[in-house]
Chains A and B, each alone.
Chain A
Amino acid sequence: MTNHWIDLKNADVILAMGGNPASNHPISMKWIMRAREKGAKLICVDPRFTQTAAKADLYAPLRSGTDIAFLGGMIKYILDNNLYFKEYVVNYTNAAFLVNPDFKGPADLDGLFSGYNLEKKNYDKASWAFQKDEKGIPLRDNTLEDPNCVFQLLKKHYARYTPEKVVNITGTPMDKLMEVYKLFGSTGTPDRVGTECYAMGWTQHTVGTQNIRAMTIIQVLLGNMGMPGGGINALRGESNVQGSTDYGILFHIWPGYNAVPNASLVDLAAYNEKNTPKTNEPGSVNWWSNRPKYIASYLKAVYGEAATKENDFGYSWMPKIDVGQNASWLMIFDKMYKGEFDGFFAWGQNPACSGANSNKTRQAMTKLKWLVNVNLFDNETASFWRGPGMNPKDIQTEVFMLPCCSSMEKEGSITNSGRWGQWRYKAIEPQGGSLPDAEIINELYFKVKELYKKEGGAYPDPVVNLSWDYGDKDATGKVKHVDSHAIAKEINGYYLEDVYDKKADPPKLIGKKGDLVASFAFLKDDGSTSSGNWLYCNSYVTKDGKSVNMMARRGKDDPTGLGLYSGWAWAWPVNRRVIYNRASVDLQGNPWDPKRSLLKWDAAKPGWVGDVPDGGAPPMGTSGKLPFIMKPDGVASMFGPGLAEGPFPEHYEALECPVDKNSMSGQRINPTIKIFGDKMDAFASCDLRFPFVGTTYRVSEHWQTGVMTRHCSWLLEMQPQNFVEMSIELAKDLKLTNGEAVVVSSARGEVKAVALVSERFKPFKIADSTVHQVGLPWHFGWQFPEDGSGYDSANLLTPNVGDANTMIPESKAFMVNVRKA
């Protein structure tokens, strides 16, 4: 979230699209309803009349996979009716930038952008670049009239998204479409703010990244980004998926969103050169220019005293991916299916049910030599060898199921969607024979290290040099029990020597050796500081000689009345509660809306009052500093030349879709997606065998694959088994009745479910045809309930095709059939 949960109360219009907060983040509705009590309007756009829709002022249905058409139409509506916030657009976005005159878009090239390479299925992006002056600063036309400026290109691109064309694609009733456009478009004035809440309904598509970008364009057109009650808010699915992302448990990033090095970056200097953005724009804060400090501090945290300036702080000990290598989820299971892995850890995760195309995932695991699963409960992954269709005697995988304890049985922090790091205390000892995950990690670290010390082996340096100082040690040097505070402090980072501000005369002491670093502004690239994750630097600090855990704070002051609760827990970065908050003020530093004063420049002080500002420079009108500090150009990217499939979002159909032609262009699907080619990767579009659009979703009573909730009797009783929801009209066509057992099938597999016939789905009228959509929750699996009464996972149906940028699978739009069981 750019903003945070309580901030939803500050909105005038809340758009829930791509997410269903009432079911999946129920307590968030407290703040949405608080906004409504003050007159705000809630809009729900969803293929299904969800629990959020039931509470909404306005509901508009759309066919799964058509969000860009819907949002593209909204961009056109905002532009046609001059509803955009011009001062914001000109000063705080790249709308005025001039693009290379060679740039061409889908309006010119029938659905493609200039530079497409059909053979490689990717783009040469040279023509997407900005025109620049001799210093490399983009040329601009602040009148927004130059035909090559971003604003005019945006207008041209979305001129094709007429309401008529949009409803033919989305199936949304015209009157509802226009009501949504009008209501959300009303937030382009300084005194009105709109926010957006999305979740996997936007990410799990082959165009997932562009779904979100389309909304971002709307939010900057309307001046809603950085505003209290505004922003773009990912309602993340797990209690600590924000934290685990921040900590880089992904192939492409180290903690703090630093790129994993590839092989061609042979030393730290090459890495820094490649990954540190440069700009000559005098107004740009260009925060990522600090990256070398974060990298050196990270390597110092990882390798401790073994990391020296002479050995590049241990940079060569870090594994490198090949240039251009994608080692993401779908690639892992494709390689595993081909027998290319011997060992596999599934730690606190149940891929046998959570990954798309579960049949392939489950088959892939049979090719492993060994598998380790860590969980509270047995599950479909740990027990894959005894699952449906498996013959255990044929499966030569050695399997370990390690029982970890619950969150009440250990101590540590987690980070919610609003970026609040919150501390959890231990209430009881680990139950049964379970261990905290940290203890299991600790044991494995020491056991593997011991083997290398005793036996030697392949390149032991990274293993034996790792720093691991997390608690009291036994006679052999092994940490007996992990102290989570010691880790939290390493993450924050230390001054490793006395650090001085050398510009002051005489040099002034900034930090004393051994103290916790006060914030990432003090991190150094010379090895004099450590920080396991720069983004969390300031979460555990030294104050008056004592260590203070900022994440454990329980202050309740709310001086702005906006619900920032800056003294409660701690938010990254540096306790900033709303990201890009410098876009909430005008060029003089006054809030766009004085009634919603998140931040204000006090010239007498001089300084900012309110939230922690995005950089401390005075207002843009005096200092010239631009508000979007993480962007090298300093402004929000209406035109985004970095993405795989184009600088503007364009509507493409899902890989599996019910139409043989994209009404918008001759290009039916995203031209840059990777399609796997094995028989296990089958897909079927416009195929009579699979005539209905399928989607997956969640219910309040279960969580993810259901491992933690199916095993809780109170929750299982409320939602005992898999169902498939469908319209009354479709049930009639198929001669099905509510409660009847059915089989849902796709090109990849089938799953049993109970037919849930309801008015919540309605047939979609698109172009000249009628399209039916059905939906299933993905919480169930064969392993529990043990009698099989819950049926199996909806991910047996979903396709293993990913978004062109993120490779997140397209679990929200695919094609199925439904038949009597």
Chain B
Amino acid sequence: MGVSRRDFLKLSGGTVLVATLGVNLDPAKAYAKDLRIKNAKQTTTICPYCSVGCGLIVYQENGKVINTEGDPDHPINEGALCSKGASVMQLANNDKRVGKPLYREPGATAWKEVEWDWALDRIARLVKDTRDKSFKTTSKAKVKEKQADGTEIMVEKEFVVNRTDSIAHVGSAALDNEECYILQKLVRSWGLVYVEHQARI
């Protein structure tokens, strides 16, 4: 029988199976002991770049990603990855990532680091004040109205709109579905109608 590397990794974790197969996997097991992923915990993920949706395995040890590779069981990519997919590990281990929230005061020439709570409190305050100041309850529009004789004429009417015109939002196709859902739920509850993202460009 043919044992792929992935099958082998699964098997090497289950000695009972190996025994029942009657295949000598000792050389392969010896090889696995030398791999740097031998003690790592595996989880599967999907590549965050293009929309093919390739599967990856993430190897974690002591809270750090120590390797990522294509998931051989995934029916689309069958273990293969492109240059971007093969570099996903660098997103987890990257000293260029922003560590703490950054804040830039009006007119300032540099960022300063701030605490999450402070930044989020300040943003919440700005959202509320902007919303309160600009909230539009009604809006006038010309619409067609049917007359008694069946003809239609244009009339100006006032309609309830309940919206916030002074805040806009864009993004994001980089979020999970669950995040997209609560994000649109949130910004619409604030009354935003200028809501857009990557799909428009």
Contact = CB atoms under 8 A, between A and B. Distances in A.
Interface stretch (A157-165, A627-635, A666-674, A704-712): A704-712
Nearest to A427: B58
A418 B53 contact: yes
A676 interface: no
Interface stretch (A218-226, A323-331, A579-587): A323-331
A680 interface: no
Which of B77, B134, B176 gathers most chain A CB within 10 Å?
Answer: B176
Contact of A377 (B55, B97, B185): B97
A458 B167 CA distance: 15
Given A250-B197, A263-B161, A347 B98 contact: no
Nearest to A325: B193
A354 B198 contact: yes
A322 interface: yes
A547 interface: no
Nearest to B125: A451
B135 interface: yes
A669 to B, nearest CB: 20
Interface stretch (B1-9, B14-22, B31-39, B113-121): B113-121
Interface in A350-384: 351, 354-356, 369-370, 372, 374-378, 382-383
Contacts of B201: 204, 329, 354-356, 808-809, 811
A428 B45 CA distance: 12
A713 interface: yes
B108 interface: yes
Given A412-B177, A438-B179, A463-B190, A251 B166 contact: no
A421 B177 contact: yes
A421 B50 CA distance: 14
Given A244-B180, A244-B198, A263 B141 contact: yes
B47 to A, nearest CB: 6
A588 interface: no
Interface stretch (A313-321, A646-654, A758-766): A313-321
Given A244-B199, A260-B193, A424-B46, A563 B75 contact: yes
Contacts of B181: 247, 255, 487, 490-491, 532-533
Which of B83, B97, B142, B198 gathers most chain A CB within 10 Å?
Answer: B198
Contacts of A451: 124-125, 128
Contact of B184 (A248, A336, A713): A248
Nearest to B176: A412
Contacts of B26: none
Interface in A214-255: 235-251, 254-255
Given A24-B50, A263-B161, A457-B128, A343 B97 contact: no
Contacts of B46: 239, 407, 414, 416, 422, 424
Contacts of A718: 83
B153 to A, nearest CB: 15
A5 interface: yes
A236 B200 CA distance: 12
Contacts of A701: 83-84
B139 A263 contact: yes
Interface in B49-99: 49-55, 58, 60, 63-65, 68, 73, 75-78, 80-85, 87-88, 90-94, 96-99
A443 B117 CA distance: 9
Contact of B196 (A246, A255, A332, A700): A332
Contacts of B128: 448, 451-452, 455, 457
A408 B92 CA distance: 7
B103 A715 contact: no
Contacts of A513: none
Interface in A371-404: 372, 374-378, 382-383, 385-386, 392-403
B43 interface: yes
B75 A565 contact: yes
Interface in B147-195: 157, 159-195
Nearest 3 CB-CB pairings of A with B: A416-B53, A348-B172, A412-B176
19 contacts: A27-B80, A237-B50, A249-B180, A319-B161, A341-B167, A343-B166, A344-B168, A347-B170, A348-B173, A385-B104, A402-B101, A414-B177, A416-B76, A424-B44, A428-B65, A432-B98, A438-B182, A440-B120, A459-B137
Interface of B: 41, 43-55, 58, 60, 63-65, 68, 73, 75-78, 80-85, 87-88, 90-94, 96-109, 111, 116, 119-128, 130-135, 137, 139, 141-143, 157, 159-201
